[in-house]
Amino acid sequence: MPLILKKGEGAATLKLDQPGGRLPTKNMVIVVAFGPEIQTYIENEGHKACPRPVGCGHCGAVGRMVGHGSYRRKPKDQERAWWIRVRRWLCQVCRRTTSCLPSFLLPWRHYRVGVIQGVLVRRLEVEGSWAEVVAGCSQQGVPALRTMQRWVGALADQATDWLLAVLAELAHQDNKSPWLEPRGPTALGTSPTLTAAHSLLLASLDLLAWAKSRWRELAGYGVADRLAFLGHWGHGRRLGRLV
């Protein structure tokens, strides 16, 4: 399934292809960069601007994707929640659907990706205690401590596979990346899972830097966007859930 990013009105579509090899699901997701502002997406009816996929990511049929309505999602941050609509397309050949997810969300998560990244960075990179994470990332109990702990645990569970995929990409595309040099243990303690999660967050910076050198549509992406880019990149390669 390709990852599709679209930066700004009338911008070219960026397509990152991936090798196949995994069985398709009933519904797939393409990710379109409408910018970080949810309110702008709502006011401009962003779901209507989702580009029609050229081909079906399930069966490969070209020119057979038709509109299939939209469904509601409820993204939120520490201060409020919004109702948005997500566009959906249907393949006339295999009858499977493809959803057009705005880039301020990750698949399967309701919080804005920037909120999730803030928690992961403070816990894994800054090595903050949970009390410090709550103080820095939560407002009046939103997000809840258990929610933030689930995000960190989910990343830890998936980090090894994702890190190997990132390193393979860098080895193929950018053999000068420092992440291809032998690295010693991090300062995160003895847990190999947490070490992989920390390393993945750091390696995502090299992945984004490489991608920005190749696709000008990513020029506006920075450190604050690395989790969004990593998640969408991996989703395009069917790596499964990141967080």
Q: Looking at residue 232, what is its pLDDT? A: 79
Over residues 184-201, the mean pLDDT reads 63
Single pTM value for the model: 0.80
Q: Looking at residue 27, what is its pLDDT? A: 67
Residue-wise pLDDT tens digits, 216-225: 878 888 999 9
Q: How long, in residues, is the chain?
A: 243
| The residue to which tokens 């847990």 are assigned | 191
Q: Looking at residue 34, what is its pLDDT? A: 67
Q: Looking at residue 51, what is its pLDDT? A: 84
What are the structural domain ranges in the chain? 3-102, 113-236
pLDDT of residue 228 exceeding 50, the answer is yes
Q: Looking at residue 6, what is its pLDDT? A: 45
Q: Decide: helix, strand or coil at residue 136.
A: helix
Of 24-38, 69-83, 103-117, minimum mean pLDDT range: 24-38
User: Which DSSP helix (H) or strand (E) runs through 127?
Assistant: none
Burial status of residue 8 (CB atoms within 10 A of its CB: 0-12, 13-18, 19 or more): exposed
